Amino acid sequence: MKIIIAILSFSLFLCACEKDNYDPPTAQLSGKLVYQGEPINVEFNQVPYNLFQFGFGKTGPVSNTSFTQEGTYSVLLFNGTYKLIIPAGQGPFLWKKTPGGAPDSITVTMNGSQQLDLEVTPYYMIRTPQITAAGNNVNATFKLEKVITDANAKNIEHVNIYLNKTAFVSGNSSYNLVSTRRLGADIVDPNNVALSVVVPTIIPAQNYIFARIGLKIAGVEDMIFSPVVKLTL
C-alpha cells in the first residue's frame, strides 16, 4: 500500500513539475486610449479593461487590469484570439455599444506582439493647457471643449488644478498635496479658464513639483485630465 501511495505521490509531483514548466506568455498587447488620435489621460488605476478568451472552459476575464494615468495599457498574452472590453460606466468617455446597449468588444488576434490604440469619445477635452510656476504659485490656463452634444451630453461638475511631489497626480488624496477647484456653474467662458494654486511646504524640501488639470463630469465617476507637467520652483 505504501508503495502505491509513493508511486501516486511521485506521479503527482511529475505532473506539478510539468505544469510549472509551461512557458509564460510572451506576446505583448499594448496601446492607449485615444480620441481622433489624441491621447486620453485618466486617473491612475481607476479605469479598467477586460480581456476574455473563450473556449477550453474559460468563463471569466483572463486579464482584468487598469489603464495608466497616461491612458496606456500593456499586457502579456499567449497567441490566440481575445475579446477586449471596457466595462459599462467606466472612464470619462463613451465606449462603443452593441445594438442592445451593452458595451461592445474588440476582437484581438495575437500572433506575436502588437499595438492597438482604443478609440473612445470623451464627454469633454481639455485643450491647450498651459501650466507655469511663478514664485510660490502655480497658474494654469486652458480651454474646455464639449465633445458629446447629443442626448448623452453632460455638464461640467468642476475643474481642478492638482499638485503633487511625485509624477502621480490626480484627485485621489494620495496623489495630490493641494488643489484649487472651480465649479462648472462658475465657468463663464469655457474657452478661457484660469486656475491658480499656492505651492505648499514640501517635506523633505524639493525644488520641483508636478501638476495637471482635472475635469469632473456631472454623473460620471472618472475624471479626464491634462498631461502631467514637471515644474521647477
Residue 144 shares a structural domain with residue 165:
yes
End-to-end CA distance of the chain: 77
Residue 61's pLDDT is 72
Q: Tell me, yes or no, whether 132 lies in a domain.
A: yes
* Domain-located, residue 16: no
> What stretches of the chain show up as alpha helix (H) in DSSP?
2-20
Whose grid coordinates read 500593456? 74
Domain match, 204 and 157 both: yes
Tell me the C-alpha distance between 83 and 4, whole Å: 46
pLDDT of residue 20: 54
Question: Do 61 and 117 belong to one domain?
Answer: yes
Q: So what's the pLDDT on residue 23?
A: 82
Q: Do residues 134 and 147 both lie within one domain? A: yes
- Shared domain check, 130 and 98: no
Q: Establish if 14 belongs to a structural domain.
A: no
Determine, yes or no, domain membership for 44. yes
In the chain, the largest separation of any two C-alpha atoms, in whole Å, equals: 86
Q: Which amino acid is at 170?
A: S
In angstroms, the CA 223 to CA 216 distance is 5
Q: What's the pLDDT score for residue 56? A: 57
Count of structural domains, the chain? 2
Residue where a domain stops, chosen among 121, 138, 155: 121
- Residue 3: the pLDDT is 47
Is residue 108 within 8 Å of 27, Cβ to Cβ? Answer: no
**Domain limits for position 57:** 24-121
30 and 58 fall within a common domain: yes
| Residue 91 burial (CB count, 10 A) | 27
Query: Is 140 contained in some domain?
Result: yes
Q: Is residue 181 part of a domain?
A: yes
Distance CA 69, CA 228 (A): 9
Of 91, 121, 151, the residue at which a domain comes to its end is 121
The reported pLDDT for the residue numbered 63 is 72
Residue 158 sits in a domain whose CATH number is 2.60.40.2060
d(CA 38, CA 47): 18
Domain end among 68, 94, 121: 121
pLDDT at 10: 42
Q: Are residues 69 and 127 located together in one domain of the fold?
A: no
Report which DSSP code applies to 207.
S
Does 112 share its domain with 93? yes
Cell 499586457 identifies what position?
Answer: 75
- pLDDT value at residue 45: 92
For residues 189 and 209, state if they share a domain: yes
With a cut of 70, list the residues of the chain below it in pLDDT: 1-21, 55-60
Distance CA(225)–CA(172), nearest Å, equals 13
C-alpha span between 42 and 10 (Å, rounded):
51
For residue 73, which phi and psi values (nearest 5 degrees)? -145, 160
Specify whether 144 is located in the same domain as 103: no
